[in-house]
Structure 1
Amino acid sequence: MRGHPSAASTPGSRRRSPRSGSRSGRGGRGAPPRPSGVSRAHGSRRKPAGRPAGPAAPAPGRWRPQGGHQGVPPSEPTLAPVDLDLVFFGTSGSVPTARRAPSALLVRRGSERLLFDCAEGTQRQMLRSTVGLVELREVFLTHYHADHYLGLPGMLKTFALRGREIDLTVYGPPGLVDLFAALKRIFGKLTYKIQLEELAAGDVLTRDGYNLVTFAPAHGVSAIGYAFVEGPRPGRFDVEAADALGVDPPERGLLQRGESVELQDGRVVTPDEVLGPARPGRKVVLAGDTAPSPVVLEAAREAEVLVHEATFLDEERERARETAHSTALEAAEIARDAEVSLLALTHLSNRYFGPEVAREARTIFPDTVVPKDFDVIDVPFPERGPPSLVKGGVRRGRDDVAEPEREEAVP
């Protein structure tokens, strides 16, 4: 896992029975005009089968599980099983603090790098890390409050100053095109194309072996959350069964990829004769800013990791309700009811410290961590163990970070 130590002692050690299949949702979307200098992305998004277009589409915000992404399964993976982790570049609330930057999270899956939200200072946070300011190809915004996108104009300009030529696609809820029409005066002329893709709840972005499914959190503005859902993987290969059937090594690879093979004597061997039950993929849910919501709960059901905001403690529950945010206790209740493996709390108000936020949440959901900037959450496949927090996992100058004890997961 990129040199990260294995982890068994952080919160997240609770296990559950393996899941089967993946999830899906449905919803509608619009197509507003675009400003000059940017274009709409084409071919990157798929509609769930059977979803009507126009006014008949389901209302945004409805999460409708389809029993395994019926109609929109993740594409067959062309990659071998890959590492997956979450890098936290910004974990504070509306304003930065001396120790925490505003919202920014990088999902790393194999060689892919997906940035979710880009608050002020995000590019500097990346430069301060061992990740560096990589040539991102996709940026995903949850909503258009300033503490979630103000870092984007500067990053776009830096890419241009470096002579970037690769297109960049930016995704977000309705309003993205209007936002960029205003921001274009700030970042000016670029050396590359920006493609804009407005998403609505239930849209599905199909990738190599996984889907990104959007849902509508309860934040009182145009907003979307993202569920990263891998498809099921082939079961374990039964070497003894293959030997008994007389399957030679060249054909074994085909069987592992789900293809039947014909042996020299004319017999046909099918994958189910040598493969065990399908193994579930991983699921990570990024809720963005939200009040407690049944939509978020359903989107997060049985996820390996739920990243949920905890702007307030429960003593400020009324204030949280007024501002469409959540308390740590409310986030923990969502995690408990959704049966997630690990809850990661972010978007902390500057009035609180991480340990007190963690203590409140753990009274309801013990498998809770409160990542700091530059922390990493490793997300192994379910059969390899639970997700785990790696403190300072990408902090520059620290090549190896010891796994923290459970009670010290929040320093």
Structure 2
Amino acid sequence: MLRLTFLGTASSRPTVSRNVPALALKREGRTFLLDCGEGTQRQMMRYGVGFSLGDIFITHLHSDHYLGLAGLLRTMSLQGREEPLRIWAPRGAGEALRTLRDLGGDRLAFEAPVRELDAGEAVEGDGYRLVAFATDHTRASIGYALIEDPRPGRFDVEAALALGVPEGPLFGRLHRGESVELDDGRRIRPADLVGPPRPGRKLIYTGDTRPSPGTVEIARQADLLVHEATFSEDEARRARETGHSTAAGAARVAAEADVRRLVLTHVSARYAERPGRLIEEARAIFPRTELARDGWSVEVRFVDAESGGQAS
């Protein structure tokens, strides 16, 4: 399972229906948090995300993207957390985040090291990596790309049985790429029964950014691009001046990168209650566009699954 839950979809300040940025990403039982705006811990409780995080990834040091960190860490500590929690951020952001982490003078009940990343560096996990990439904002900022390892090809069960391979452990060994020997002395190779490797999934989260070639490159043929869309096209000049994107600009990135799906977030308060203009502008360029709302979850499925990702 690869599921995103949008905890905050507003830009700069909260509105009645939208909190400031935070996105929970759950993969195979492991949960990550991307950005942590003010009040994120309450959004996590409200939408059933839970606090069993292993890593928090901050895109940049504008207050709407990280001020919730102090409250979230205190909440976890008061609940008795003991497991370490890693905090990742762009190069140069470490000092400010350590100050925020230690705010209030209460010692946390767990370790929470802050580590800095340069664009191109990756945090490695079991079967995936989270890659930092450069974005184009008004201060040092990075986005994050979750890129899964390729999966083994499909295993042909019928062909295996026809060759006399008994069901059980030998199936697993062949699928893992090992040759096996049968009781009659025949040697069966994986290439006889296993198809070519299949791609893993790729998910892109931009944080705040103008449309940029770097985003297009990292997002190429991604399963899902989560791109900020602070303004409509009639505010394109203001978007450029403030280091943000319009909905149409995000759609052009998605089209050029040939992604499977685009989700817009980071909506200005002026559109928060009536975001129709944003989605219309984006879909005119890239029809496979959706607009996130607080509490909305979306599952990212494998490209070779029977159907595409489903939202709930």
Question: Counterpart in 2 of 1:118?
Answer: 36
Contact 2:229 2:267 in 1 (8 A): yes
What runs of 5+ residues in structure 2 fail to find an aligned partner?
Answer: none
Higher relative contact order (CA 8 A, sep 6+): 1
| 1:212 Cα offset (Å) | 1.0
- What is the letter of the counterpart of residue 154 of structure 1? G
Question: Counterpart in 2 of 1:178?
Answer: 95
Question: Counterpart in 2 of 1:322?
Answer: 241
Question: Where in structure 2 are the equivalents of 1:275-354 lying within 5 Å?
Answer: 275-352=194-271, 353-354=274-275
Question: Counterpart in 1 of 2:60?
Answer: 143
| 1:235 Cα offset (Å) | 1.5
Q: Tell me which protein shows more strand as a share of its residues.
A: 2
Question: Could you tell me which of 170, 176, 192 is aligned with 1:273?
Answer: 192
Question: Counterpart in 1 of 2:287?
Answer: 366
| 1:261 Cα offset (Å) | 1.2
Is 2:305 the counterpart of 1:386?
no
Question: Could you tell me which of 222, 235, 257 is aligned with 2:153?
Answer: 235
Larger displacement relative to structure 2 (171-180 or 279-288): 171-180
Is 2:126 the counterpart of 1:208?
yes
Question: Counterpart in 1 of 2:141?
Answer: 223
- Supply the distance in 1 between the matched residues of 2:35 and 2:196 (Cα, whole angstroms): 37
Is 2:73 the counterpart of 1:156?
yes
Tell me, what secondary structure is at the counterpart of 1:194?
coil
Is 2:91 the counterpart of 1:169?
no
Contact 1:174 1:198 in 2 (8 A): yes
What runs of 5+ residues in structure 1 fail to find an aligned partner?
Answer: 1-82, 391-411
- Taking structure 2 as the reference length, the TM-score comes to 0.95
Tell me, what secondary structure is at the counterpart of 1:382?
coil
| 1:332 Cα offset (Å) | 0.3
- Supply the distance in 1 between the matched residues of 2:98 and 2:158 (Cα, whole angstroms): 62
Tell me, what secondary structure is at the counterpart of 1:225?
strand
- Supply the distance in 2 between the matched residues of 1:176 and 1:343 (Cα, whole angstroms): 29
- Supply the distance in 1 between the matched residues of 2:235 and 2:30 (Cα, whole angstroms): 39
Question: Counterpart in 2 of 1:105?
Answer: 23
- Supply the distance in 1 between the matched residues of 2:69 and 2:247 (Cα, whole angstroms): 28
Is 2:2 the counterpart of 1:84?
yes
| 1:187 Cα offset (Å) | 5.9
- Taking structure 1 as the reference length, the TM-score comes to 0.73
- What is the letter of the counterpart of residue 298 of structure 2? I
- Supply the distance in 2 between the matched residues of 1:259 and 1:206 (Cα, whole angstroms): 25
Question: Counterpart in 2 of 1:254?
Answer: 173
Contact 1:377 1:387 in 2 (8 A): yes
Larger displacement relative to structure 2 (178-187 or 210-219): 178-187
Contact 2:70 2:103 in 1 (8 A): no
- Supply the distance in 2 between the matched residues of 1:193 and 1:130 (Cα, whole angstroms): 24
